[in-house]
Amino acid sequence: MKKILLSSVVCASMMFAASEYKYEITPMVGGAYTEGNLGLERDYINGGLALGFNQTESMIDQVELAVFRTVEDVDMVDAAGNSINRDTGITRVFVNFVKDYPLTSNASLYALAGAGVEFFDDAANNNNNENGLVGNYGVGAKYKLAEQFALKFDVRHLIEADSGDNTLLYNLGFSVPFGKIAKAAPVVAAPVVMAPKDSDNDGVIDAKDNCPNSVAGAIVNAMGCEMDDDKDGVVNRLDQCPSTIAGAKVDNVGCMTLVDLNINFDTNSAVIKDTYNSRIVNFANMMKNNTKLKATIEAHTDSIGSAKYNQKLSNKRAASTVEVLKSLNVDASRLTAIGYGETKPAASNMNKEGRAENRRVQAVITK
């Protein structure tokens, strides 16, 4: 396990990182768990303080100077684990090298390794707890609470240099960075002025051209798209029927194939109300302006009443619409009336609104 962690630290040292602050101070509290042969109680509480020196141009992210001290004196024990009525305080000082591994914008892992010394207030015992050198390595996690505050938790494995005895430290810390590094003013390159491009040569530069592949010679609007005056989806250049009624369906040359005359009848009625005159007048004018077109007037009903009655009613509605168009001087030879009864609903017949929509008239256009 020690080899794996040390290898991780060595690999991490090959990466570079930077911090916005020069220093970081971290007060810590935690505990220690010792081997059973050290002549000390196995669990005790530590307090600590770490001062980090952040590195901006180094293979490591931080050099840490850390001091740990037992909160209370630790009981000394015999081989059986019984107190021998003596105790000692322990102070440890380390210099560690730290490498961060970011996970998210707020969270990261870190690895550390280093060496230091430990001091026993009462080192005169028979269990080899003497002042001396100690190495350590460990891993931890850091979570940023705000721009300048973070929680840290780590576990450190301590190995005494003279005896190889082991102690495990686990610590919870609250870190505060300080000494913000002044950032150098960015170097702004002189802008390169280039003439705006117009790749399709339609007179609208590429930056404003919503239709960048206009046909050569096409008349376009301010956004670089070909004009479609009647807004039927077919541009003027291809539109053989340039006065399409709004909302009508058209073919690929812009001629109408289906027009909803927006006539909704009352139940059991074939009478066209005056409120629908403007739509019918517009359709009549279009037919007179395009004398090659013919129209089949299709009428529909809702499902109220019998299918036989609704068929007769739709025939009356289609004929009523044709009569209005004839009165507007549309040649009767170009008009055909047909009723579909309740067989082709456009909406549900289960509610009032749907039935009103089904009582409708449409014109199918042919040449």
Residue 50: per-residue pLDDT: 96
Give the global pTM.
0.46
CA 76 to CA 83: how far, in whole Å? 6
Where exactly are the structural domains of the chain?
2-180, 233-366
Express each pLDDT in 74-93 by its tens digit.
Answer: 888 887 778 888 888 999 99
Residues of the chain with pLDDT under 70: 1-19, 124-128, 276
Q: Which amino acid is at 152?
A: K
Question: pLDDT at position 109, please?
Answer: 96
What pLDDT, on a 0 to 100 scale, did the predictor assign at position 29? 96
Largest CA distance in the chain: 124
What's residue 17's pLDDT? 40
Show the tokens assigned to 144.
């940023």
CATH 2.40.160.20: does it fit domain 2-180? yes
The pLDDT tens digits for 177-210 are 998 888 777 888 878 777 788 777 777 777 777 7
Residues 6+ apart with CB under 8 A from 366: 293, 294, 295, 296
Say which amino acid occupies 245.
I
According to CATH, the topology of domain 233-366 is 60s Ribosomal Protein L30; Chain: A; (3.30.1330)
Going across the sheet that includes 294-299, the strands are 249-250, 256-260, 361-366, 294-299, 335-339
Q: What is the DSSP letter of 214?
A: P
Q: What is the pLDDT of residues 250-292, one digit of tens each?
A: 777 777 777 878 777 777 878 887 776 788 888 888 888 888 8
Instruction: Report the relative pairing of strands 107-120 and 132-146 from DSSP bridges.
Output: antiparallel
> Number of helices and strands (H, E) in the chain?
4, 15
Please, are residues 201 and 224 in contact by the beta-carbon 8 Å criterion? Answer: no
